[in-house]
Amino acid sequence: MTTKTAPMPLPRGFNRRKFLHSSVIFTAGTSLPLSALAQGRRVDSVGLQLYTLRNELSQDFEGTLAHVAELGYKEMEFAGYYGKSASEVRSILEQNGMTSPAAHIQLQALRDDLEGEVERAAILGQKYIVVPILPENQRTIAEYQRTADYLNRAGEVCKQAGIKMGYHNHNFEFIETDGRIPYDILLEETEADLVDMELDLYWIRNAGVDPISYFDSHPGRFSMLHVKDMDEFGRMADVGSGEINFAEIFSHADTAGFKHFFVEHDRPGNGMASVAVSLYTVRNIVF
């Protein structure tokens, strides 16, 4: 379990969440002046998993990306392209000074047309193709083993294009099944040079598991993080409004192998406000 440092007392009547939501949209692209006084490392380039803004993107794809760029996000992880070609998407990203290191692609889509997905990723300049979820009817030990084998084989194809396969967890991979932990199968039966893990911090903590133990036992495997918070009731929350100790987790970056930090909220009340608050928080985490 992680240990938190007791927070400094706040002025009476101060509502932290209201303050962040009202002010961060105007300041998310910069750090607080006070933060410059703190010593330590920070995340250089904060990314966004665009599943968070799926409603906004479906209504105004280009406008949503432009707004996200204005907030200060630099890296986009896609979960669908809303009818746009890879070339069109890359052009929009370049116009906004952004890149896309990764995308979530469903396992069946990869099985149906792996070469096409690799070609699309290459056009976009992506370095990772990430399987976002295993269908419910494929969550047996035998299926996890078959999935690990497929990730290795797909990883060989991806490697020729300078791309790596990835796997994104939920909480169910940490539920013991037939005496085994499915996530351990995916880690242990995939090749480190072919398959990386994208660790979703909300879901692993929701499962009651300490992510740091995995960093120590599988160093270098966690190139991507989904930076998501969890409140005291186990619900997903905007980053900074929950209980996850991100500074402690981020401090293991060298061991774990973190390269990309993607903010995400699966069900935000206000998508743009959520990503703005979360960006502000992540940029001011010292580790």
Task: Give the burial class of 45: count Cβ atoms within 10 A of its Cβ; 0-12 exposed, 13-18 middle, 19 or more buried.
Answer: middle
pLDDT by residue (tens digit) across 180-190?
999 999 999 99
Angle subtended at Cα 277 by Cα 31 and Cα 275, rounded to the nearest 5 degrees: 115
Which residues on neighbouring strands pair with residue 164, listed in sequence order?
128
DSSP summary character for residue 178: T
Percent of the chain's residues with pLDDT above 90: 86
Which residues on neighbouring strands pair with residue 77, listed in sequence order?
49, 102
Length of the chain, in residues? 287
Beta-carbon count within 10 A of 58 CB: 12
What is the maximum alpha-carbon separation in the chain? 59
Predicted confidence band at 39 (pLDDT cuts at 50, 70, 90)? low
- 203 pLDDT exceeds 70? yes
Give the C-alpha separation, 54 to 140, whole Å: 30
- 29 pLDDT exceeds 90? no
Which residues on neighbouring strands pair with residue 226, listed in sequence order?
200, 262
pLDDT by residue (tens digit) across 93-105?
999 999 999 999 9
Q: Is this model's pTM higher than 0.85 or not?
A: yes
Q: 86 or 16, which is more confident?
A: 86
Say what the alpha-carbon torsion angle 128, 133, 137, 138 is, to the nearest 10 degrees: 40
Buried b (16+ CB within 10 A) or exposed e, 210-223: ebbebbeebeebbb
- 27 pLDDT exceeds 50? no
Average pLDDT of the chain, as a whole number: 90
Predicted confidence band at 228 (pLDDT cuts at 50, 70, 90)? very high
**Tokens 């598991």, located at residue:** 209
Alpha-carbon 137 to chain mean position: 25
Q: Which fold has domain 42-283?
A: TIM Barrel (3.20.20)
**Kind of pairing between the strands at 236-237 and 229-230:** antiparallel
Q: What is the mean pLDDT of residues 223-251?
A: 98
Alpha-carbon 101 to chain mean position: 11
**Tokens 């927070």, located at residue:** 7
Q: Which pLDDT value is given to residue 97?
A: 98
Q: Which amino acid is at 51?
A: Y
Predicted confidence band at 14 (pLDDT cuts at 50, 70, 90)? very low
Encode 100-122 in three state secondary structure. EEEEECCHHHHHHHHHHHHHHHH
- What's the chain's Rg over C-alpha atoms? 19
Give the C-alpha separation, 83 to 71, whole Å: 25
Per-state percent for the chain, helix, strand, coil, to nearest 5: 45, 15, 40
Spatial contact of 161 and 194, defined as CB atoms under 8 Å apart: no
Q: Where are the domains of the chain?
A: 42-283
